Structure 1
Amino acid sequence: MSTLDRLTADLTTSLKARDTLRTSTLRQLIGAVRHEAKAGTVERELTEDEVLKVLARESKKRRESAQIYTDAGAPERAATESAEAEIVDEYLPTRLSDEELTALVDAVVADTGASSLKDMGAVMKEANARAQGRADGRALSTLVRSRLAG
């Protein structure tokens, strides 16, 4: 079952259960995926990876919003955004642990023969391909930079 099919099925379930937070969040996610499919000159069918990228972007938006609300002294809104982010994360692949991410970066650096920051682009490209959306780009970049600088 594709992620979009799962979102749609879970929306039906949440509607029947009268779970307003989950229903609202799932509707927003389905809307974001449909919006992405219609972006551009011709509507197209999104691949599974593209759907997951949309969901990752939505999760990141909600986490950033939660932080902004926390900083602004609006804990109720921050809690709502965090709860929505947790719902979105249920549909994303499991994140790599710090140890797994370090091992992945070390393997990519060894495989590519990278030795300086000049090689960072090639290492990042390969590391992102191997991580398959299971790693935060910023954390990955920081780790690659530290491996190549040291």
Structure 2
Amino acid sequence: MELLRKARTAPGRLAAGAYILHSGLEKWDGGEEQAAGTHGMAAGAFPFLRSVPPRTFLRLLAATEIATGAALLAPFVPGALAGAALTGFSSGLVALYLRTPALRKPGSVWPTPEGIGVSKDVWLLAIGLGLLADAAAERREH
């Protein structure tokens, strides 16, 4: 049963993990313009981030993405831990989307053309919640 469970969760872990890891690696050596843009969007949604310097923010975000992506890709990391990491990370991304009006059509949750790239993070949240639900079901079986 454990092998079947791992096979069932592998596609979501691989797709999300590879995407997030790649995103983190791309940000790791990001320049000032990328840092300013990323930080500006995040600080607009979460004002407490204004006190964090843009380069520091970009590095912390990159490290979080690298760690989350690696946890998803590593088969020895339990599904509950990988799911918790992905759920936490993607919850922040979905909150950013919901707190940034320019990313959504007025009065709606549907994305504007500018919001399509961020709105897809709902799928990452769904994969994370699925991993957590699968881990909970496994605990109930034992």
Fold conserved between structures, TM > 0.5 = no
> What is the TM-score normalised by the length of structure 2?
0.30
User: Higher relative contact order by CA 8 Å / sep ≥ 6: 1 or 2?
Assistant: 2
> What is the TM-score normalised by the length of structure 1?
0.29
Higher helix share: 2
Q: Bigger radius of gyration, 1 or 2?
A: 1
